Amino acid sequence: MIIGVSGRNGAGKGAVVEFLAERSFYVFSLSDVVRDELKRQGVDETRERMIEAGRGLRERRGPGALAEGLISQLLPDRNYVIDSIRHPAEVEALRRFSPEFRLVWVDASETRRFERIRQRGRPGDPTDIEALRALEARELSNADVAGQQLLAVEEMADFVVPNEAGFEELHRAVREVFRESLFFERPTWDQYFMSIAQVVASRSNCVKRKVAAVVTRDRRIVSTGYNGTPRGTRNCNEGGCPRCNDLAPGGTGLLDCLCSHGEENAITQASYHGASLRDATLYTTFSPCLQCTKMIINSGLSEVVYNSGYPLGDRSLELLQEAGVKLRKVGPTA
């Protein structure tokens, strides 16, 4: 899950971020991108400089620049809370990155917010209501597309969390957001196993094409395999396979190829470790060649799921169907 947090000054955004951080969410702030820019410029941080530096970054790199600069740091196995979202293009960038992104707007009355601002006493904070209104006039809307546009961000919020009372009420409101929508999606089993096969393929040392297979039974992995030269011989990318290193055209020089295919290695690995493949499913990044097809049939595999078609694979698919092996093609996982 990726939770964005936004709101006006003193609304309690930091309290929401802290609440989620205590529940194992990793915290990022778009303001940190601006702070890094001020450090690069060699100037001290003030509210005015933060506003102007953020505007400058949006002007030079696009209105979604702060979020786009952060996205590369987000990992798929973690939950995140992202603070200081102040422009609709930042919301759009995060939504493009992840369908699991949700924006929470923290809301409180002007009187309550000013009271909190006075209590925290940060340097540069407004000292009266009029000063607060003048500051927020620059943040709420802006004719300059690179300026802050909090009102537009508020309109894009998925959830509004009221924060007029104390922490207990605020925490209760945040919990209600999660009760209403636990908005993460797990991959299907096909996506799960095919994505694993694609990672396995990254281990391939073949010069021409990286291919891998994963054999599963009862939704458990039995074996994996990727294409490359046989155990104990020189790797393909070290000159081990003359066909690959000669960059032979597709379909030619097959008698010179020393590489075992991903499906072949997955099947032989299972045999090496004494695992039966009867009625198992093979996930492969490419549909199998004829040689691997015969091994699939004779090893007792009952289903083949593939991602892309092998260039010379039509006869293989026909033979699998003739042998009663179920055959399915699934789309790319990324």
So which residues are the catalytic ones? 263
Q: Is 241 left (phi over 0), alpha (psi -120 to 50) or beta?
A: beta
* Partners of residue 148 on adjacent β-strands: none
Tokens, residue 194:
């095919």
The amino acid that residue 43 corresponds to is V
* Cβ atoms of 47 and 124 closer than 8 Å: yes
DSSP for 213-277?
EEEEETTEEEEEEE-BSPTTS--GGGT--HHHHTTPPTTS-GGG--PBPHHHHHHHHHHHTT---
* Cβ atoms of 149 and 6 closer than 8 Å: no
Q: Give a three-class secondary structure readout of 88-105.
A: HHHHHHHHHHCCCEEEEE
Rounded distance between C-alpha atoms, residue 326 and residue 304, angstroms: 6
**Residues comprising the chain, all counted:** 334
Longest alpha-carbon distance in the chain = 84
The H-assigned helical ranges of 121-202 are: 129-140, 150-155, 167-180, 189-201
Measured at the CA of 133, the angle between CA 132 and CA 139, to 5 degrees, comes to 95
Rounded distance between C-alpha atoms, residue 259 and residue 289, angstroms: 13
> Hey, is 183 helix, strand or coil?
coil
